[in-house]
Structure 1
């Protein structure tokens, strides 16, 4: 059992990220003192939305500069913190030129840097790590081989590599490294959040989140001729943020937490928007798998990726997070609508309502 002093600052690494921004906001709204890290403190434009949130909240925000690849760079931000929420990690699934350099090493080295700083910090009692559902499986086809055909916290990704599904590989290696490091000491404990495909409104206008970029493509007509078949494990970004905070402050929380709420495909998203706003060029049918295989390489997806993911459903069991963290989830339709409205309001997709 680990009890965190709520009067102490909470460190959230990589605070400008899509998910991390929501974690910061929810903590600030609850009156916490939040320390967060950015890569370049001089570039205030990247984190101005965090400053705005802090000014409108009951909490307090402190900004620190840190780099995933620089040893000890998180040490100052961690001072006096009993809880560390480590979200910072690169997320790219296409357009990757050097997977080891762009994904694996930053994820591994960043995890090591943060956790070694936790070792050196006398105040830290708990680290909550943002992992991913892809640390449990690399391809959707993997689920067919699991016990009872459902993904759970006991599963590990064994099929990804630097050459195939490098992003899932990076998350798997980083989480395994975290569990290795925590076992070598006994002062702080580790709780892991493994989100599925994250949707929901962004707190900034940045589009370098893969989730946001895919939604912009969906509403802008890129998939008008058809969407890839196959259900994903989807979850609202606000719920994932809430899960991190619950994991931090629930004394008995332990282990990994598959954080997903809805088994849905891209057509389900498109239908919600199409029914409300027919002018948007969203897909109304699935694209034939043979055609996606043909077009996939031009869209940044290998034929092997298409073969092992398109047409395969991600079936999961989220009962553990409901039990361990008393977690409940936002309805799917609200997630889609809120996300769509934010993209229109921020001018990231045209207003055809």
Structure 2
């Protein structure tokens, strides 16, 4: 355990076309390292083009491998000869969920099991860095209202029927720890980021984070935003945290990642309005609570969620991540403005 990673060995990143994975891959390639990235379909040139460009524009080496979270053994070939794996592939879907088991839990849980089964078969493997979430730490802001939650905290409320996305993240991480503790050849560390924002390396908009920022600029939320607060962290900082943890042989455990600020949605809108003035139709108020309660049944939102989250700024402790990883977080204003600039420059916002 705690063996030093050989930087000449190939490094595997699962879910290579993802919002976070692209930044991890870019940072590894910029260091001149050899990276293997898994994708569902290598022949899908359109979906893979942003990933492919990273390999073309860097001093590192990039190779794509096909793998499917739900197919046993599909990560074996990509992992062969690797000492380090970043497992980022997992669905992030909070809306329009028709079958939570199929859309969220199976890819998160079975995918984690499949990746770690391959890890157990790969004798060269030394360390796995798993992207989990603050969703594994807590469900409702009320839980973190009167006391700061840290890495010892676990979400005990979510279930398949109540916040299935959060449930999928918790059960996948818990299973990963169980698998890790059943052996002593490789070690596991997890990253538990808050709400990830910041500039994307692609123009894709099938990310919850990207769509959130688009909604702050395109008028979708012009009439108001819910009075919700989440821990925000820059996608580049999450990628950096993963790499710092991967190569620090003394790093261990879980890591809550966020900038240190837990803004309400309206506070994010105010940052944008201060920068851009009246150029875009930013939200200027919170949606009245009685309207949210009226609309909740149609939006498939439980009243208990509104009661336990509206108007409450949770408290979380990110001191361990700073101590263990040595990371310095970007200020939230920088994250928000540079995210907006990326959307504007790529033409996603006119």
- Same fold (TM > 0.5): yes
Structure 2 residues not aligned, in runs of 5+: none
Distance 2:304 2:94 in 1: 14
Q: Offset at 1:247?
A: 1.1
CA contact (8 A) 2:11 2:85 kept: yes
Aligned partners of 1:188, 1:9: CA distance in 2, in Å?
16
**1:55 positional shift:** 1.3
Q: How far apart in 2 are the matches of 1:112 and 1:276?
A: 45
Once residues 105 and 251 of structure 1 are traced to their aligned partners in structure 2, the CA distance between those partners, rounded to angstroms, is 32
Q: Deviations over 1:107-161 (max 9, x none)?
A: 11000000010000011000000000000111222223xxx61121000000101
Give per-residue Cα distances to partners, 1:224-257, cap 9 Å, x unaligned: 2222113210000000000111111011000000
Distance in 2 between residues matched to 1:37 and 1:174, nearest whole Å: 19
CA distance in 1, matches of 2:340, 2:71: 37
The number of residues matched between the two structures is 347
Q: What are the equivalent positions in structure 2 for 1:119-158 lying under 5 Å apart?
A: 119-144=120-145, 149-158=147-156
Pick aligned residue for 1:239 from 237, 240, 247: 237
Corresponding residue for residue 70 of structure 2: 69
Listed as ranges, the gaps of 5+ residues in structure 1 are none
Whole-angstrom distance in 2 between the partners of 1:302 and 1:22:
35
Find the residue that maps to 1:293 and give its secondary structure. helix
Q: Is the Cα contact below 8 Å between 1:232 and 1:314 reproduced in 2?
A: yes
Deviation string for 1:321-353 (max 9, x for gaps)? 000001111111111111001111222222xxx
Q: Is the 8 A contact 1:293 1:307 kept in 2?
A: no
**Cα displacement (A) at 1:308:** 2.3
> What per-residue deviation string (whole Å, max 9, x for no partner) do you get for residues 206-241 of structure 1?
111111111111211222222211321000000000
**Counterpart of 2:95?**
94
1:289–1:311 Cα contact (<8 Å) kept: no
Q: What do the CA deviations read for 1:60-95 (whole angstroms, capped 9, x no partner)?
A: 000000000000000111011100000000110111
Distance 1:324 1:165 in 2: 30
TM-score with structure 1 setting the length: 0.95
In structure 1, the residue matched to 2:340 is 340
Query: What are the superposed Cα offsets for residues 37-62 of structure 1, whole Å, 9 maximum, x if unpaired?
Result: 00111102111111111111110000
The equivalent position to 1:175 in structure 2, one of 173, 176, 187, is: 173
Give deviations 1:191-218, integer Å, cap 9, x for gaps: 0000000000011111111111111112
* TM superposition shift of 1:301: 3.4
- Structure 2: how far apart are the matches of 1:244 and 1:346? 27
Q: Helix, strand or coil: the match of 2:113? A: helix
- CA contact 1:94–1:301 (8 Å) conserved in 2: no
* Alpha-carbon distance in 1 for matches of 2:246, 2:28: 11
Query: Could you say what the CA RMSD is over the residues aligned between the two structures, in angstroms?
Result: 1.2
Q: What residue in structure 1 maps to residue 303 of structure 2?
A: 303
Distance 2:40 2:140 in 1: 32
Secondary structure of the structure 1 residue equivalent to 2:104: helix
Tell me the distance in 2 between the aligned counterparts of 1:54 and 1:300.
Answer: 42
Per the alignment, do residues 21 and 297 of structure 1 end up closer, same or farther by CA in structure 2, a change over 3 Å counting? farther
Give the distance between the partners of 1:52 and 1:300, measured in 2 at CA.
Answer: 40
Q: Residue 143 of structure 2 contacts residue 314 of structure 2 at CA under 8 Å; is this kept in 1?
A: no
Give the equivalent residue in structure 1 for 2:188.
Answer: 190
Aligned match for 2:246, one of 245, 248, 253: 248
* Residue 273 of structure 1: aligned partner: 272
SS of residue paired to 1:47: helix
Does the CA contact (< 8 Å) of 2:275 and 2:337 recur in 1? Answer: no
Q: SS of the counterpart of 1:291?
A: helix
Deviation for aligned residue 1:307 = 2.4
TM-score (structure 2 length as normaliser): 0.96
Q: Distance in 2 between matches of 1:186 and 1:39?
A: 31
Q: Distance in 1 between matches of 2:314 and 2:152?
A: 16
> What's 1:286 paired with?
286
